[in-house]
Copies of this chain bind each other. A is one copy, B any other.
């Protein structure tokens, strides 16, 4: 079965106005699949949609939805034969947990836990009835250990990571490929905007570079990361596991971390975030 037969006619990408989500939409379009791009910002969505439409000649719909809830998204894809669903939306609260607002902590759970759960439940049921499909929850290397400055964010991305792994095991016998996609530092517009406003702690930074190498701190391009996800899908069902990474180095780092103490793993990640967010 070809890519389009397995994962078409419609792909839905949630969190798709710019950056990584837009790049996922482009990869789907490149394979002849029609795409629904979902996000909050209508104007940006339209621009992205038009670019993909004109480049690949597939149908591209936009759907304006606040992913702190799931109603708008579910209503927007009602009756649509969604066969590939990629949840890339994320709330990213930053700062020490004790200083966070309760509403920020709740939005983190809404966007990163509740909405992917409710929407996955709906689309997984439709895919199981159809006997094929792909369901990808985009997680983060920040989910692999506690992460200072992003403690609640890391926790919520871990929810997605482990949910998707469980869905892989439950859905594969129904012809449905569910998995988590663990993304390392990526040069999204958000990331670049944050980075431009930062003055990293020089001492911490050079200590880090000596420990993990400068390349481990370099963000990858959205195009690279999106291509990595679609390479997993391209390779066919047999090769799909519960968890894939945006780069082999991220996977190696995760495996290596198991051989060291949690205190060291968490402290090292904390040094990285502290170097930038003092």
Contact = CB atoms under 8 A, between A and B. Distances in A.
Determine which residue in A161, A242, A270 has the highest number of CB atoms from chain B within 10 A of its CB, and name it. A242
Given A168-B266, A242-B262, A266-B165, A155 B147 contact: no
Interface stretch (A33-41, A116-124, A189-197): A116-124
A135 to B, nearest CB: 11
Interface in A253-269: 254-255, 257-259, 261-263, 266-267, 269
A100 interface: yes
A170 interface: yes
A242 B269 CA distance: 12
A266 B168 CA distance: 9
A164 interface: yes
Task: Bin chain A's interface residue count.
Answer: 35 or more
B242 A266 contact: yes
A77 interface: no
A155 B151 contact: no
Contacts of A150: 166
Contacts of A165: 145-147, 154, 262, 266
A163 interface: yes
Contacts of A154: 162-163, 165-166
Contacts of A120: 97
A128 interface: yes
28 contacts: A98-B121, A98-B124, A98-B125, A102-B118, A105-B118, A106-B118, A109-B113, A113-B155, A117-B152, A145-B162, A145-B242, A146-B164, A146-B165, A146-B168, A147-B165, A152-B166, A154-B165, A155-B158, A155-B160, A155-B162, A159-B159, A165-B262, A168-B263, A168-B266, A169-B267, A169-B270, A242-B266, A257-B258
Interface of A: 96-98, 100, 102, 105-106, 109, 113-114, 117-118, 120-121, 124-125, 128, 143, 145-152, 154-171, 241-243, 254-255, 257-259, 261-263, 266-267, 269-270
